[in-house]
Structure formats: structure tokens, C-alpha cells
Amino acid sequence: MADLPLSDVRVLDFTWAWAGPFCTQTLAHLGAEVIRIESTLRPCVTRMLPPFADNQNGPNRAGYFNQYNQGKRSILLDLSKPEAVKLAFQLARHCDVVADNFAAGVMDKLGFSYEKLREIKPDIIQISMSGYGQYGPFKRYVGYGPPASALSGQFWLTGYPGGDPAEIGVSYPDPNAGVMGAYAIIAALLHRDLTGEGQFIDQSQWEAVLVHMAEGLLEWDVNHREPARKGNHDFYMAPHETYKSKGNDDQWVSIAVGTDDEWRALCKAIGQPALADDPKFKTQELRKKNEAELDPIITAWTRERDKWEAANMLQQAGVAAFPSMSNRDLAEDKHLMERGYLVQLEHPEVGRRMHAGVPWKMSGTPTEIRRAAPLRGADTDDVFKTLLGFSQQKIDELRKAEVII
């Protein structure tokens, strides 16, 4: 079967920045036709941030945009003009899904409320992915990914032992909102397949990430206690740390031991089989209790080895170990390469650049990146011709009036 799971789905994509585009890219991975509306009124921030290909600025040269908009089409409108809004509205009639990640109320103001969309397409599915959700006392607050990590306790609970709350390195609530939003849309499509009904989905970025914080939240709920920050340590397992590798470079290897068998294997692999029966480390409970004595023993071994050498030796012995991967490590990784995860499609302006691809494989409906991210407005003419039947002359007129750019 050549059809992909969402081959029959067209998405009108008002999203911008990261969370929304991540969501619609996930739908594109699964075969949806995603028409990204780009507005001159509010150019996407990811087109304007580095890295740019070969460090030359340009909206089509931004890696950030080109990573999270693979497989999509792009049309360029001036949404400050009522005619442009009207055109977008006409496109909605031909779409199954309308997606945005504006602050609450922005889509209504633009004229794309669910009520209005439903009038022209009764079974339309609309998702609004905002920072705080569409209702509630803080609905107008400005939400970004990193503040959602603060709101949801990710900063509060992440940190080195005994240290302050820490930022978590990436704006995780953004891609998470994208994944959870894509899930919600697919569920709604399935609901439509089965019942004929469309619906509106209100997603708060904060709430979407809170479902992953249950381990911390429940500690408060059950024991009225805030969990302590534990760095890389686990509440039960030990050893459980990311250890320094050989040399002065910033090279590390993560090692986690979850069973007595793995402990035994680790002791043997690091050349200290007697340690396995040391009364201080014999059981998981004891290892956890005496973790402070355990970590230096393992560091003494990892410090003598390259991160891959350590990981290979431990994995061969049956112990979970993996280097801490940098962006370069990932891009050069033979395993990811062999799995076809890393993709290099021809892009009209930046040529072949490596990108992260589809993070899953499907045997019956093979999903893959079908095209590189679009140039800004690359598909404007084609979309209006094929979906609305516009002539080139009409498009030229609209472009002259700067409705279409």
C-alpha cells in the first residue's frame, strides 16, 4: 500500500516558532499535506536565528527552520490585509485540520474561530496550542517553551545534588507540545473516521508537559514532600551516573545498573570481580546507600578510557552504558546512519544538509522525509491554483496588491 496513514489529510498550518511546527512536521512525517502559512506580518522566528548555512544569514538558510519544517509546503501572505485572511479562510474549506500555536484568542481575532470554521467545514479539526490554554485566569499570559519548564517543576526538580534548580538545556516543552498535539490530532482524525464528527482541541503547553512530571507531583500528593534534586542519581538504582572519560576534553559516559546480574557484570568488566560481593555493595539497597563510595571506583576506571571504549566494554558484558553524545557525535553516528535516521535531501538554497529524520519506522506504510523544508512562499502559486482554481493572472493581481507576497 503506497498510502501513508495521513495521506488523505490536509493541514492548514498557522503555527510558528517551535512547538507548532514540530507538531505539523510530525503529521507531515505520517503523510499529511501540510500547508504552512507564512506571514510577512510576523516572520517565523526560526527563519531568523542562527545557525545559518555556512554562517550566511537568510530566511531560507536557517537550520532551525529547515529542521522542523521538513516535508511541508509554504505559502506567503500578508495577514494584516483582510483579503489575505479571506484567502486563508477559503483554503480552510479544503483542509481537514487547522493548527496554530498563538496565544489564546489570536485565532478568533484573525477570524478563524472554531465556530466560523465549522460553518464552512462541519467536520473540521482545529487545534490551538498555546502556553496556558484557551481559558483560565492566566490565559492571556505569554508562554514560551523554557518558561513552561519553570512552570511545570522541571527546573525545580532538575539539578546537581545539593545544588540549585537548573535549566534543562533545551526548550523541551516545545517539542513535547508538538508530539502531544500531533497525538491529539491523530486521535481526532480517528474519531472523525469512526463517528463523522470534527472537534476543537485546546492544548496548554504547560499541561502537556505536566503529564510527564507525575513522579515528582505524586511525591507531594502522597507524602507532602518535595523530591530532592539528585543530579544523575536515581532513587533506587546505583551506580547511576555520567562519568568522566579519558583526557581533559568534555567527554563522558553514562552508566546505569538496575539488577544484581548487571552489577556482577560491571565488576567483572572493570577488572574488580571481588567488588561484586563486597558487603557494602552486594544488593541494590546497599549500593544506593553507599553510592558516594561507589562513584569514585567507577570514575577511576572510566578516566582511563575513551567514552566509546568504556561503553563498548560494558555493553559487551551486558551493562547499560552510553557516551554522552554531542551534536557532532550524533551527526557522525554510524548506528543512526545505518538506520536511515539522518537524512540529506536537496534544498534549493542550502543544498544537501544533514537533518534529524523520522524517529520511528513503520513496516506497512514506510514513513520518510519526502522533501526538504520549503523556501519561504515556494508553494504559494501552486496552492492557490490547485485548491482554489486561481488563474496566474489572478495570482499576479493579488501579488501586485501585496495580499500574496
Q: Active site includes 249?
A: no
Rg (CA), the chain: 25
CA distance 252 to 313: 15
Q: Is 87 in the site for other proteins (CB under 8 A)?
A: no
Nearer to other proteins, 219 or 381 (CB): 219
Site for other proteins in 258-297 (CB under 8 A): 258, 262
Interface residues for other proteins in 223-262 (CB under 8 A)? 223-224, 226-227, 229, 231-232, 234-237, 240-244, 250, 252, 254, 256, 258, 262
Minimum Å gap between C-beta 55 and other proteins is 5
Sign of the C-alpha dihedral computed for residues 81, 82, 86 and 89 taken in this order? positive
- Site residues for other proteins, 139-168, by CB under 8 A, read 139-144, 146-148, 150-160, 164-168
Distance (Å, whole) CA 235 – CA 86: 56
Binding mask 296-335 for other proteins (x = CB under 8 A): -------------------x--xxxxxxxxxxxxxx--xx
Total of residues contacting other proteins (CB under 8 A):
157
Return all residues near 140 (Cβ < 8 A) that are at least 6 apart.
Answer: 103, 104, 105, 132
Burial status of residue 12 (CB atoms within 10 A of its CB: 0-12, 13-18, 19 or more) = buried
Catalytic residue among 96, 100, 174, 295: 174
Q: Which is nearer to other proteins, 84 or 239 (CB)?
A: 239
- DSSP character string of 218-229: HHHHHHS-PPPP
> Nearer to other proteins by C-beta: 143 or 377?
143
Task: Pick one of 75, 79, 117, 350: the residue that binds other proteins (CB under 8 A).
Answer: 350
- Does 172 contact other proteins by CB under 8 A? yes
CB 32 within 8 Å of CB 349: no
212 contacts 154 by C-beta, under 8 angstroms: no
- Tell me which stretch binds other proteins (CB under 8 A): 58-66, 74-82, 273-281, 379-387: 58-66
Q: How far is the CB of 60 from other proteins (least distance, A)?
A: 12
The angle formed by the CA atoms of residues 25, 26 and 29, to the nearest 5 degrees, is 85
Contact 71, 48 (CB under 8 A): no
Contact code string over 180-209 relative to other proteins, x by CB under 8 A: xxxxx-xxxxxx-xxxxxxxxxxxx-xxx-
Which residues are part of the catalytic machinery? Answer: 174
